[in-house]
Chains A and B, each alone.
Chain A
Amino acid sequence: NAGVTQTPKFQVLKTGQSMTLQCAQDMNHEYMSWYRQDPGMGLRLIHYSVGAGITDQGEVPNGYNVSRSTTEDFPLRLLSAAPSQTSVYFCASGPRGGPAETQYFGPGTRLLVL
């Protein structure tokens, strides 16, 4: 199993550009989520999904869109990038069963918005 994979590893954008951060998992997990990590703030939940076709907002959803057409993939879209979105983005997945289940994290995507 590859686990949770994220692409790209690093990206530089100009303000106003759009891009999609890819996330895929091969563990057949129903639950997937996106976090952003900023210095001194830990990880904050952006969006999450409890299955194909079902998504919901987390703590900091503004400026980001998600969709989930398959169990395996959960892309995160930035429609118009802003410098405030400079961050490290982590995707995670976990099985149904609630927070007692282990969440598995990808290696992260480092995004710089100029």
Chain B
Amino acid sequence: AQSVTQPDIHITVSEGASLELRCNYSYGATPYLFWYVQSPGQGLQLLLKYFSGDTLVQGIKGFEAEFKRSQSSFNLRKPSVHWSDAAEYFCAVGQTTDSWGKLQFGAGTQVVVTP
């Protein structure tokens, strides 16, 4: 069975510092990989996704993620964090054998940005 692990429940980062959120997945083949962000009281917004090609993916709001097959990881990064990046971040996987859009989510990482 596939699974998604986000090892960090909570991360505190200073404004202007870099941010890296970890995501590991377990799946028999290369899955489709996603990062979503949930701002307080809001729904989920897609930051970026990977399903083939270049393993470094650029997303919205200055985020990027790198797919590493050998480590079964899809870590999210941002070089310089803004206060508005305080939110909860979810990694998700979709099965390549799935004809539709079922997603399996990690538990999420809460990001706090300090001045």
Residues of A within 8 A of B (CB): 4, 31, 33, 35, 40-45, 48, 50, 58, 90, 92, 94, 96, 98-103, 105-108
CB distance from A90 to the nearest CB of B (A): 6
Q: Which residues of A contact B31 (CB under 8 A)?
A: 99
**Which of chain B's residues 14-44 have a Cβ closer than 8 Å to chain A?**
31-32, 36, 42-44
User: What is the CA–CA distance of A64 and B100 in the complex, to the nearest angstrom?
Assistant: 21
Our pick among A33, A48, A58, A105 for the contact of B44 (Cβ within 8 Å) is: A105
Provide the main secondary structure of the chain B interface.
Answer: loop
User: What is the CA–CA distance of A58 and B46 in the complex, to the nearest angstrom?
Assistant: 21
| Nearest B-chain residue to A49, judged by Cβ | B100
Q: Is the CB of A99 within 8 A of B107?
A: no
CB distance from B91 to the nearest CB of A (A): 9
Our pick among B4, B36, B103, B108 for the contact of A99 (Cβ within 8 Å) is: B103
User: What is the CA–CA distance of A68 and B61 in the complex, to the nearest angstrom?
Assistant: 35
Q: List 22 A-B contacts (CB under 8 A).
A: A33-B101, A33-B102, A35-B105, A40-B107, A41-B107, A42-B90, A43-B103, A43-B105, A45-B104, A48-B100, A96-B100, A98-B32, A99-B51, A99-B94, A99-B95, A99-B96, A99-B98, A99-B101, A99-B103, A105-B43, A105-B44, A105-B45
Q: Is the CB of A31 within 8 A of B44?
A: no
Our count of residue pairs bridging A and B at CB distance below 8 angstroms stands at 77
**With contacts A42-B105, A45-B104 known, what are 13 further pairs, Cβ within 8 A?**
A35-B105, A42-B4, A43-B103, A50-B100, A98-B32, A98-B98, A99-B51, A99-B96, A99-B100, A100-B51, A100-B94, A103-B46, A105-B45
B84 is an interface residue with CB less than 8 A from chain A: no
Q: Which residues of B contact A43 (CB under 8 A)?
A: 44, 90, 92, 103, 105
Q: Which residues of A contact B105 (CB under 8 A)?
A: 35, 42-44
Q: Is the CB of B101 within 8 A of A90?
A: no
Q: Is the CB of B101 within 8 A of A101?
A: yes
User: What is the CA–CA distance of A96 and B46 in the complex, to the nearest angstrom?
Assistant: 17
Contact A108-B94, Cβ < 8 Å, known A43-B105, A101-B101, A102-B49: no
